Structure 1
């Protein structure tokens, strides 16, 4: 399952993020991405609060590990290490938002300038345009 997550290279952020979130969800390790960090435990904490705190810490640690192992080394070294998976994912997203923006611009240019030139069937041409449109919607 983890091996289906592509390595983040900088040009595949949207796909990478989608697969990371899906993988963490399937593995039931996305608690730290869905919920804020629980308050510190006290002597008055209930067993339920203790269990939630323990589960959140475990999911947070494993989520950060998965995020780090699916990022290319040259990118990983430029990111500061944080203690919370949600913050780490947000920092990565902020860094690659501009890459997605330039990719979107390229897809729009391709889509608006593409003409049927007769080298392939009209059906294939429409499929290529539909695929470009779907990629653009994903961004």
Structure 2
């Protein structure tokens, strides 16, 4: 039994430590890690489905179990989400938000970058990045291709001629 709890604790710790701290510029990566971690820990129910109706005296055992599972998912999800957000950012979201899905949505409103800012950053990286002659040229070319593909998803096309000229 002790071995099993050590494995669970180390697994939980590893999952939590894989979540980067939200810093305002890494929202997409942070959110992706939150969702993957909560999914792997089977705690994402509160993010996937709406809160079930409150329990009443007439609630069935199945309804009570489902509500308890959803409530546990919501509480733990909120704790894990808040753990990955610095205290100064957390104050921006009201303490009154007790639903993990709503909390994540509020964070997203405040920290998701606009397309223009991302395009600007990617173009700056694309035009200023140079191969130094040291290290793996393949990695450099892959980085540049990745930047171009990100720009393409933002509807900014870079021609192959320009790509070859800048990369070389």
TM-score range, shorter chain: 0.7 to 0.9
Computed over aligned residues only, the root mean square deviation of the Cα atoms, in angstroms, reads 2.6
Residue pair 1:32, 1:56 contacting (<8 A) in 2 also: yes
Bigger Rg over Cα:
2
When normalised by structure 1's length, the TM-score is 0.83
Corresponding position of 1:90: 105
Corresponding position of 1:102: 117
Alignment gaps of 5+ in structure 2: 1-14, 155-168
Structure 1: how far apart are the matches of 2:105 and 2:76? 17
Specify whether residues 72 and 2 from structure 1 end up closer, same or farther in structure 2 by C-alpha distance, changes over 3 A only. Answer: same
Structure 1: how far apart are the matches of 2:26 and 2:115? 8
Corresponding position of 2:28: 14
Residue pair 2:21, 2:84 contacting (<8 A) in 1 also: yes
Structure 1: how far apart are the matches of 2:112 and 2:152? 15
Q: Say which of 132, 138, 141 aligns to 1:126.
A: 141
Alignment gaps of 5+ in structure 1: none
